[in-house]
Each structure stands twice: as structure tokens, then as C-alpha cells.
Amino acid sequence: MDFEFKQAIIVRQDLRMSKGKTSAQAAHASVSAMMETRKKKPDWVSSWFFEGQKKIVLKVSSEEELLDAKKKAELERIPNALISDAGLTELEPGTTTCLGIGPAPNTLIDRVTGGMKLL
């Protein structure tokens, strides 16, 4: 099957979160970005669900890189969600951990994430 839509989840590696913490933060990013997309581009979400909800999980090495990706997503008009931790376990309250982008057409996601490495 050819996928036309995907969602990108970008995780900061400099925080050195445990696997469980990373998974929880990525899940927050996925759900939150989907909810934003559902408000602004419901047809994208419908198509993404129909195709099987393709996701890619990528890594960046700093908060600056994560915020740069957010700016690029906004320039492409892709709904997104920046995740900040509540600070109940491993991180200080308000630590920015992940960014969820889309779901959106592959071509738009690739303009934002091109060159990033898979987690």
C-alpha cells in the first residue's frame, strides 16, 4: 500500500529520558498533534486513519532543534503540538520533550523532517 499521509513525532535526545518516559512523551505528542489536526484539517485525519495511521519517530539533540522543527511545521501550515512535561517523575516541570506534527501529506512532513534521523 502506498501511504499518502503520516505523522511525525520528534523526541529530544539530550534529556536522556528512560524508555518508558520517552514512550509516554511520544504518545502525548501523537495524540495531541492528531487532536490539533482534527480541528484544522479533519480530512487529513480521516485519510490517515483509513491508511493505517503511519507514524515516524525521529530524534533531535536539543530544544533549539525541536523548536526549529515547530517553526518549519507552522510555515508549512501543518498542525502540531509541542509537549512539555509536568515534572512529576524524571524531568523538571515545563521541560519541552517532544513535538508531534500532523498527520499531514508525506510531502509536507518531509519538508519539515528531511535530514532528521529515526529514533
The pLDDT tens digits for 16-54 are 999 999 999 999 999 999 999 999 999 999 999 999 999
Model pTM? 0.96
52 Rama sector, left if φ>0, alpha if ψ -120 to 50, beta otherwise: left
Sheet (strand 117-118) strand order: 80-84, 96-105, 5-12, 55-60, 117-118
Q: Report the C-alpha gap between 73 and 31 in whole angstroms.
A: 17
The pLDDT tens digits for 65-119 are 999 999 999 999 999 999 999 988 999 999 999 999 999 999 999 999 999 999 9
Task: Say if residue 1's pLDDT is above 90.
Answer: no
Query: Interior CA angle at 64 toward 61 and 66, to 5°?
Result: 70
